[in-house]
Amino acid sequence: MNAPWWQQFFDVVWLEISNMWWIFLLSVVLVGVIKGYKLDLKIRESIVRAGMFAIPVAVLIGMVSPLCACGILPVFITLALAGTPLAPLMALLVASPVMGPDALLLTWRGLGADWAIYKLVGAAVLGLGSGYTVAFLEKRGWLAGDMICLTPVYRDDGSLAPAADIGAAAGIKIKRMQIIPRASQLRFIADRSLDAGWFIGKYLLLAIVLEGLMVTLVPIAWIKMLVGAESVGSLFLAALVGLPLPTSQISIIPILAGLLQMDIDRGAALTLLLAGPVTSLPAMVALAAMFHKRLLLTFVALGLGLSICMGLLLQITG
């Protein structure tokens, strides 16, 4: 006799939590160390100095920064107003939501080593592809002129205001994090780890709950009918599902684990894994206010198009 749905639901949730709790703790400590020693800030400063290597450097920065689609916006604003070229900015904006050290660890634990590698390679392809495509479109004149609609805001002392204030002046709400100085480096790292734990944990738990509901309540036949076939159509559908889905590089992991249990096509799964975090709905709302329409269209087309290409490649290679 089958167990009632609610018992199956709690079994799925408990199994995911028991599998991922220790790697979750490791990932938030890693974020705390990166923030505590300002490793991400030191690397970001190299974009302006990178010259012809700015796009690969921007992709590398995006992949080592533990920032989602919304979290990268303050960095993007600061670099944009500092005169950073558009191509590396777009490479950073696309790569960062897909990959981070915490996301890599959690993907490896939640989906397996193969999917962690797919995610790593996919982030690099999306970042490099976006950066070099934007550089090409700039030369062709499609993205000529001022594509970023931001006006600098200055403090009373003449220094540039924080990204949150600049965004507010443009009608964009940017999350502001209050950083309290600590005399102890260890205490500062602990604070940043707690911040990361709260931010990542609440979305990860919500995604695990959604996975449990999906596995226990959604008929498998529906999933197979929509994205179960190994076809180009399933890739496009997965990309379109990922477009409005408010997922991050962390929360997409349990959701995808549930879909893989229901025999979703692996190519469609990879498309969703990459496209979902890039086209996060809250970030898209902010970008719509920041970007010229032509640049926004390019951003969406690159995020979805390159994700579909990676899914197709996985379908072909098996």
Task: Give tens-digit pLDDT for 199-224.
Answer: 667 767 776 777 677 667 766 565 56
Domain count of the fold of the chain: 1
Residue 318 to residue 313: CA distance in whole angstroms: 8
Which structural domain, as residue segments, surrounds residue 50?
5-317
- Per-residue pLDDT, 237: 85
Mean pLDDT of 245-268: 79
**At residue 165, does pLDDT exceed 60?**
yes
Mean pLDDT of 97-119: 88
Helix-helix angle 232-242:293-317, to 10 degrees = 140
- The predicted model scores a pTM of 0.77
Mean pLDDT of 111-120: 92
Q: What is the DSSP string of 174-216?
A: ---PPPPP-SSHHHHHHHHHHHHHHHHHHHHHHHHHHHHHHHH
- Per-residue pLDDT, 16: 73
Question: First vs last Cα of the chain: how many Å apart?
Answer: 37
